[in-house]
Structure 1
């Protein structure tokens, strides 16, 4: 596979950097050791690693979704902290409605990037929900014990699960309405299997 990639890269006059290339073995059989595997990209050896990042999503052998959820929350938290100087905090900050619009425009996209394509389980949804609800409580300067329903109703906010569902429906529409013949072939092939 790497020889094919190298061949096509040379034809297209593209240089693949072997030090930045990673190989991740997904669904690795238990009888194979990672240390026994090695490949070459051109003349440089490429060794398998436990995880890599592609287009902002982490691909890993184990607990891929957990790693992605943790990374997304970390990025969203950093974005949120960078907006604190603008008044995006509860007490003596901006109006809660304005703060929520800023949060919805800047933080939620960073939090949910790529989550529409991952099969998240309930515990992963719960981790994201806790971050989202805590942030909304802080925006409104509400105590921790405030009922979750009132936090969402006061701001007119959606739950994180609803935000993910909106993105999943948008992604589905984009795939179904795409004019790309390769994607249409995949849709038709998968449709006939069911």
Structure 2
């Protein structure tokens, strides 16, 4: 495989079924040794399970736990009150240390709105405490005062950035071959990652994945295109 070296001792097999009734898993072998079949595994700190929905739920729950621990380890009880840091410093620390933990890997999983709402609730509650705002403050006011983007928008930005990275690969690479196959054969209602990103591009009027692949903007210009599309 291109640039990949599989480690037999670290490799496991997860049987993914798209049907409600799970079928029989076919044994897989590597170097004449059967690969262990498991229901859950972690790769690059991203949890993998036997279904995409379980992947999304498991990773969001884990990210929330890690983000809370990170927030309390950095701020403790000193981010509120007169003895705490100023608001701009706290927002900067949140964006630099807590937010990456909260969103880790979600540009690949693209969780649905009902799962994103859990992340949104965490961010809104945290920012309200920072700004010492009442609980009934509108979310729009919270984002206007803090300068932060909603969680969904930040996931979309990361997904589009990752797509741009794939489109910038050599056309003989595995990544490019996978992109070309997915956008050629998958329908618009497919659960393929590329098709989901296509829906994101349509939402912001950014064209199609195929157009982006054929005319990939240089580094630095993609952000300008996204800004114009979202305005």
TM-score range, shorter chain: 0.7 to 0.9
Q: Deviations over 1:22-67 (max 9, x none)?
A: 3211117636467xx7666668765422111111111112422111
Paired position in structure 1 for 2:37: 48
Distance 1:52 1:86 in 2: 35
- Between 1:68-77 and 1:78-87, the stretch displaced more is 78-87
Decide whether the 8 Å contact of 2:55 with 2:109 is kept in 1. Answer: no
Paired position in structure 1 for 2:13: 23
Equivalenced residue count is 179
Q: Secondary structure at the match of 2:42?
A: strand
Q: Deviations over 1:93-126 (max 9, x none)?
A: 1111110011001111111111011131111111
Structure number with bigger Rg: 1
More strand by share: 1
Decide whether the 8 Å contact of 1:90 with 1:96 is kept in 2. Answer: no
Paired position in structure 1 for 2:46: 57
Q: 2:80 aligns with which of 69, 85, 90?
A: 90
Q: Deviations over 1:71-93 (max 9, x none)?
A: 11111111111102494x22231
Paired position in structure 2 for 1:113: 104
Paired position in structure 1 for 2:176: 184
Q: Deviations over 1:109-158 (max 9, x none)?
A: 11111101113111111111001111111111222222211111111111
Q: Secondary structure at the match of 2:84?
A: coil
TM-score of the pair, normalised by structure 2:
0.67
Decide whether the 8 Å contact of 1:25 with 1:48 is kept in 2. Answer: yes
Distance 2:29 2:166 in 1: 35
Q: 1:128 aligns with which of 119, 134, 137?
A: 119
- With CA pairs under 8 Å and 6+ residues apart, which has the higher RCO, 1 or 2? 1
Q: 5+ unaligned residues in a row in structure 1: which ranges?
A: 1-8
TM-score of the pair, normalised by structure 1:
0.78
Q: Secondary structure at the match of 2:99?
A: helix
Q: 5+ unaligned residues in a row in structure 2: which ranges?
A: 187-231
Paired position in structure 1 for 2:58: 67
Q: 2:143 aligns with which of 130, 143, 152?
A: 152
Q: Could you say what the CA RMSD is over the residues aligned between the two structures, in angstroms? A: 2.9
